[in-house]
Amino acid sequence: MIWNEKFETMPREEMRKWQGQKLREMVERVYYNVPFYRRIMQEMNVFPEDLNSVDDLSRLP
């Protein structure tokens, strides 16, 4: 196991904000670099800027 004090002691709300930021970065990377997922997301009318939190994961294909 790895102990990372920053993440292990981070307040819940700050952690959710960080997770949302990382989620959006990942979705943007996939959207702009993988034509297959870009097409699927466009068909579902889901765009990277629509995803801001872990709660938005259910919107992804």
The radius of gyration computed from the CA coordinates of the chain, to the nearest angstrom, equals 14
pTM, to two decimals: 0.76
**Single-letter residue type at 14:** E
CB-based contacts of 48, cutoff 8 Å, min separation 6: 24, 27, 28, 31, 32
Show pLDDT as tens, one digit a residue, over the chain (61 residues). 688 888 888 899 999 999 889 989 999 999 999 999 999 999 999 999 888 888 888 888 7
Q: Where are the beta strands (DSSP E) in the chain?
A: none
Integer angstrom CA distances of residue 28 from 13, 16, 46: 23, 18, 11
According to the model, what pLDDT value does residue 57 have? 85
**Single-letter residue type at 42:** Q
